[in-house]
Amino acid sequence: MAESLTISSVLKRIKEQLEQAKLRNPQLEAEMIVSEALGISRPEIYLELDKTIPGSALKKIRAWVKARSERKPFAYIIRKAWFREIELEVNNSVLIPRPETELLTEQALRIIRSEATIEKILDLGTGSGAIILSLAFELKNFARNLKFFASDISKPALEMAKKNARKLGLSKKITFCKGDLFQPFSRHKFHLIVCNPPYIPQAQLRSLMPEIKRYEPEIALNGGVDGLELIQKIINQAPRHLYPDAWLLMEIGLNQAKRLKKYLGAEMALKEVVKDYNRVDRIAIFQKRQEQGFARILT
């Protein structure tokens, strides 16, 4: 790439290389690489097509194009991902947060804002911290005194979530715990639990895109034989960690919504399933029923 130093010619070369690597959107990705390397927005690239790219940026571009041609996700290459209103650091010990999970967070925000009794909030399997950090960030000036908790079974994931909390100035607002599902919270109850569990059926992991299967952590993806192993455990264990009338919001996979009801005990109700941008059932919203004895007195 040494001979072609303008933005225009470099863009063209990157696009050709990414086409050869069979990437789906070589033009868009070429623009993303150049804009990130130069620290300008994608539209700004087109105002400066004849500008010469400095050597330091070219060096970055070469390394990034090589990594991208090897199908390393761009977020891992630049160690950054954007989620709702925040920027997160990511590496290959955490899942790259997805747009569907922004919807899960939006549903959690809607319920937290409208239910006056909600105080204690848990993000189970926090990964990069995307969900809990967005909640704490977007509810920074909220009048109610909210307490945020986040956990993960993966130590490196939890370290990344803590680092992101520090970068966003949110460390003091969130308690991070390491452990398997509810194990760190044996005596704790919450008013809202939000969770994006691993939900891909094990046999499908092999057919995922190289970006996912080669680079993203299997522990964040593998939902066991039918994809529902953790989901079932969470539905079974959650009632012990929810106050009466409290909420459990969970992201789910393709065709999983209809199978949720069979896991429900008497204490939990499936209130709603929200579709994502592709009209796929994606967010399951459960509510714990009133304590049985109490409910009987009321009715």
Ligand X SMILES: C[S@@+](CC[C@H](N)C(=O)[O-])C[C@H]1O[C@@H](n2cnc3c(N)ncnc32)[C@H](O)[C@@H]1O
Q: Tell me which stretch binds ligand X (CB under 6 A): 21-29, 37-45, 113-121, 152-160.
A: 152-160
Q: How far apart are CA 141 and CA 10, in angstroms?
A: 45
The β-bridge partners of 28 are: none
Among 14, 34, 157, 248, binds ligand X (CB under 6 A): 157
- Establish if 227 lies at the interface with ligand X (CB under 6 A): no
- Rank residues 217 and 244 by Cβ distance to ligand X and give the closer one: 217
- Establish if 154 lies at the interface with ligand X (CB under 6 A): yes
Beta-sheet pairing, 190-195 with 242-251: parallel
Q: Which of residues 185-204 bind ligand X (CB under 6 A)?
A: 196-198
Among 37, 61, 95, 228, binds ligand X (CB under 6 A): 95
Among 32, 33, 38, 131, binds ligand X (CB under 6 A): 131
CB of 286 to ligand X, least distance (A): 17
Q: Which two tokens stand for residue 85?
A: 């209103």
Among 1, 153, 254, 280, binds ligand X (CB under 6 A): 153
- Establish if 164 lies at the interface with ligand X (CB under 6 A): no
**Residues at the site binding ligand X, with contacts judged by CB under 6 A:** 95, 97, 101, 125-128, 130-131, 151-154, 157, 180-181, 196-198, 219-220, 230
